[in-house]
Amino acid sequence: MNPQKLIRLDQEDIQSILPHQPPFVHINEVFDLVPGKSAKALKYIDPEDPIFTCHFPGNPIYPGIFLIEAAAQLAFVTFCYKQDSKVTTYSRAGYLGTVKNFVFKNVVTPGMRLTIELEVIARLGNAAKVSTKISCQEKIMANGELYFTIDEGRQVFS
């Protein structure tokens, strides 16, 4: 048996890993995290999100580009999670290089609770490729592949 430990992260944990700050944090919770390999995240589509006042007036649709960003943020957490919470890393960043074969299969609307699944396909040095699937209940909303480079920054032990 493989006693691989699955890790769960709340919003505070996520914000301590991501270089992004609200309102540009696009994942709510991370679960089933296997560092460097795979993870899942919950993304709640808040009906109060101001994006819906303009995208589109009277016909609220969550922008696909934000779904890609959410998957990219989950990828960053998957790679940069450190078990030692006393390690703070500065100036880290992930740079999205290629979005490949990304397909939006269904429209995402206010109130949906999305599950983002992410799997690392390959990593070579600071370059990585991941595949992702975004679903609502059993329905696939989008899927695709992302390539990016990771700058892990410098670590400071507090």
Partner 1 sequence: MSGKNDKKAELAHKLKYMIIERLELEDINPEEIPDDSPIFGEGLGLDSLAALDLVILLEKEFNIKIQDPAQARKILSTIDTLAEYILSHGSD
The angle at the Cα of 129, spanning 143 to 27, to the nearest 5 degrees, equals 55
134-153: contacts with partner 1 (CB under 8 A): 147-149
> Across-strand partners of 119?
38, 131
CA 11 to chain centre: 12
Q: Which residues contact 37 (CB under 8 A, 6 or more apart)?
A: 78, 119, 120
Binds partner 1 (CB under 8 A): choice among 16, 88, 98, 106:
98
| 103 in contact with partner 1 (CB under 8 A) | no
On the CB side of 123, how many CA atoms lie within 13 Å of its CA? 15
- Smallest distance from partner 1 to CB 95, Å: 10
| 42 in contact with partner 1 (CB under 8 A) | no
User: Count residues contacting partner 1 (CB under 8 A)?
Assistant: 14
| 122 in contact with partner 1 (CB under 8 A) | yes
Interaction site with partner 1 (CB under 8 A): 97-98, 121-129, 147-149
